[in-house]
Amino acid sequence: MADELRARIRSGALRPGERMPTQAQLAHEFGVERGAVRQALRILQSERLLTNVSKGSPATVAPDPARALTGPEAPPLPTTVALAPRIAEAFAAEHVEIDAVCLTSISLTLAIGEPLRQIHAGRLKPAKVDVRVLLPSRDIDLAFPVPVEGCGDDWVHERWLAMRNAQGQVLQHNLLALRSTHGIDVHVTFRALPFTPPVKLYLLNNTEALFAYYTLMRREAEIDHEHLEMYDAQGTQSMLFSFQQGPGLRDTTFVEQSHLWFNALWETISSELVLTS
């Protein structure tokens, strides 16, 4: 529901300052309970796309939804909230360029779903899409995820590797499908890093950098009905900081240096990555 309402706001179907349908109307339209409606509205409020979200009167579309999550005043938000609208905005360009450094690409795969929906709905039509992704090599000892006590390393590594490969394959398939369905020139390339990235970084159209720390936590996983404690990071919940090229020297320099860093890794110590187990 949040994705559909977000798309309506981004496309202009719901205009800035316009009052939303009531929660009862939305519940009826989407066939869900009121609690699900309130949750979707709160997500859009956290993205600064809606204002006046409450149990009473209908919410209102923000005065300037196009800049809801951009600029120096924008607060950092969890990756699941912040990344999709920024990726969708990037896909409004004629030539879309996305570079990413991450652990599994799950956040990027989820976020790409938003512009894909808009492309299939006819609201976006880039001519070219270039995506480059740096992921940890399968051949290294990961810094995380790892077992707390040092036993079960093989299982944890294989579980991470399966997720890395599956998410990368889905991302690649969904994007390359645009060639046949919409005639878009798409290129998706993966390369392997010889280390575990402690941060995630997304570079959009050479003008924006989105940066987040992987924060480790201790959690339990179940293997053959036995519990294994491990150190892991929930990357989808990492707080994402946005930096944009523009009049601000600090943000512009961060974007430029992030591109230099990414390209240096891509062209030097990274290696070919094949998304197979």
Stated pTM of the model? 0.77
- Most trustworthy range by pLDDT among 69-73, 117-121, 256-260: 256-260
Mean pLDDT computed over 225-231 = 87
Of 209, 208, 171, 205, the closest CA to residue 95 belongs to 205
* pLDDT at residue 71 in the model: 47
SS3 114: helix
Confidence check: pLDDT of 70 > 80: no
Architecture of domain 1-66: Orthogonal Bundle (1.10)
Q: For all residues of the chain together, what is the average pLDDT?
A: 89
Domain residue ranges of the chain, discontinuous segments joined by +: 1-66, 71-272
Are 235 and 110 within 8 A, CB to CB? Answer: no
CATH topology of domain 71-272: Endonuclease; Chain A (3.30.870)
Q: Where does the pLDDT of residue 172 fall: very low under 50, low under 70, confident under 90, or very high at 90 and above? A: very high
Confidence check: pLDDT of 31 > 60: yes
Mean pLDDT computed over 121-146 = 95
Give the start-end residues of each E strand in the chain: 50-51, 60-61, 77-78, 95-101, 128-136, 146-147, 185-193, 199-204, 208-213, 216-223, 226-233, 239-244, 271-272
Q: Where does the pLDDT of residue 143 fall: very low under 50, low under 70, confident under 90, or very high at 90 and above? A: very high
Q: Each residue of 78-117: pLDDT tens digit?
A: 898 889 888 988 999 999 999 999 999 999 999 999 899 9
Of 6, 11, 121, 118, the closest CA to residue 59 belongs to 6
Torsion of Cα atoms, 2 then 6 then 7 then 13, to 10°: 120
> Whole-angstrom distance between the N-terminal and C-terminal Cα of the chain?
35
C-alpha to C-alpha distance for 263 and 269, rounded to whole angstroms: 10
Question: With pLDDT > 70 as the criterion, what percentage of the chain qualifies?
Answer: 95
| Radius of gyration for the alpha carbons in the chain, expressed in angstroms and rounded | 20
Give the start-end residues of each E strand in 144-183: 146-147
